[in-house]
Amino acid sequence: MTTAETTPAKTTTTTTTEPTERTTEPVTHPALPVATGRQSAAELWRAVRAHRSEALVVLLLTLLASAGVVAGPLLLGSLVDVVREGATTGELLALLAVTAAAVLFGAVFTALALRAMERLGARISADLRERVLARALAVEPKVLERVGVGDVASRVTEDVEHFVAAVPLVSSVFGAVVTVVVSALGFASLDYRLALAFCAVFPVYALALRSYLPKAGPLYAAERRDAAERGRVLLESLHGLPTVRAYDMQELQAKRVEVASERNVSTALRALKTVLRFSVSMNAAEAVGLSALLLTGYLLVTSGEVTVGAVTAAALLFHRLFGPLGMLLMSFDDMQRAGSALARVVGVLLTPQEPERAPRSPRGPVSLTAQGVRHSYDTGREVLHGVDLEVPAGTSLAVVGASGAGKTTLAAILGGVFPATQGQVRLVDDGGPVPVGELDQDGLRDWVGVVSQETHVFAGPLRDDVLFSAPGSTDEQVRDALAAVGADAWVRALPQGLDTRVGAGEHPLTASQVQQLALARLVLRDPPVVVLDEATAEAGSSGARDLERAAEAAVRGRTAIVVAHRLTQAKACDRIAVVDAGRVVELGTHDELVALGGRYATLWAAWSQR
Ligand X SMILES: Nc1ncnc2c1ncn2[C@@H]1O[C@H](COP(=O)(O)OP(=O)(O)OP(=O)(O)O)[C@@H](O)[C@H]1O
Single out the residue of 510, 505, 458, 158 nearest to residue 337, CA to CA: 158
Give the footprint of ligand X on residues 518-557 (CB under 6 A).
Answer: none
Of residues 40, 154, 179, 408, which one binds ligand X by CB under 6 A?
Answer: 408
The window from 6-14, 56-64, 182-190, 318-326 that contacts ligand X (CB under 6 A) reads: 6-14
Beta strands across the sheet bearing 559-563 = 448-451, 529-532, 559-563, 396-400, 575-580, 583-588
53 binds ligand X (CB under 6 A): no
In the complex, least distance from residue 118 CB atom to ligand X, rounded to whole angstroms: 43
In the complex, least distance from residue 378 CB atom to ligand X, rounded to whole angstroms: 6
Give the footprint of ligand X on residues 12-51 (CB under 6 A).
Answer: 12
The window from 230-238, 243-251, 404-412, 487-495 that contacts ligand X (CB under 6 A) reads: 404-412
406 binds ligand X (CB under 6 A): yes
Q: Residue 468 and residue 525: Cα distance in Å, rounded? A: 9
Of residues 409, 455, 559, 569, which one binds ligand X by CB under 6 A?
Answer: 409
Partnered with residue 30 across adjacent β-strands are none
In the complex, least distance from residue 27 CB atom to ligand X, rounded to whole angstroms: 20
11 binds ligand X (CB under 6 A): yes
Phi-psi region of 15 (alpha: psi -120 to 50; beta: other; left: phi over 0): beta
Beta carbon nearer to ligand X, 38 or 381: 381
Helix, strand, or coil (residue 84): helix
Beta carbon nearer to ligand X, 378 or 454: 378
Phi-psi region of 276 (alpha: psi -120 to 50; beta: other; left: phi over 0): alpha
Of residues 401, 437, 449, 461, which one binds ligand X by CB under 6 A?
Answer: 401
405 binds ligand X (CB under 6 A): yes
Cα–Cα distance list, 111 to 166, 175, 325, 563 (Å)? 19, 11, 19, 64
In the complex, least distance from residue 453 CB atom to ligand X, rounded to whole angstroms: 7
Give the footprint of ligand X on residues 362-381 (CB under 6 A).
Answer: 377-379
Of residues 383, 428, 517, 593, which one binds ligand X by CB under 6 A?
Answer: 383
In the chain the first and final C-alpha atoms are separated, in Å, by 41
Using CB under 6 A as the binding criterion, the count of chain residues that bind ligand X stands at 15
307 binds ligand X (CB under 6 A): no
Q: Residue 290 and residue 288: Cα distance in Å, rounded? A: 6
Of residues 407, 558, 575, 590, which one binds ligand X by CB under 6 A?
Answer: 407
Beta carbon nearer to ligand X, 11 or 340: 11
Beta carbon nearer to ligand X, 174 or 377: 377
Helix, strand, or coil (residue 388): strand
Helix axes 511-525, 475-484, angle to 10 degrees: 120
The window from 239-247, 341-349, 397-405, 522-530 that contacts ligand X (CB under 6 A) reads: 397-405
Q: Residue 610 and residue 601: Cα distance in Å, rounded? A: 14
Beta carbon nearer to ligand X, 438 or 580: 580
Beta carbon nearer to ligand X, 183 or 569: 569
The residues, any chain, with a CB within 8 Å of residue 471's CB and separated by 6 or more, are 1
In the complex, least distance from residue 569 CB atom to ligand X, rounded to whole angstroms: 13
Q: What is the DSSP string of 230-281?
A: HHHHHHHHHHTHHHHHHTT-HHHHHHHHHHHHHHHHHHHHHHHHHHHHHHHH
Beta carbon nearer to ligand X, 132 or 584: 584
Q: Residue 386 and residue 370: Cα distance in Å, rounded? A: 9
Binding site for ligand X (CB under 6 A): 10-12, 377-379, 383, 401, 403-409
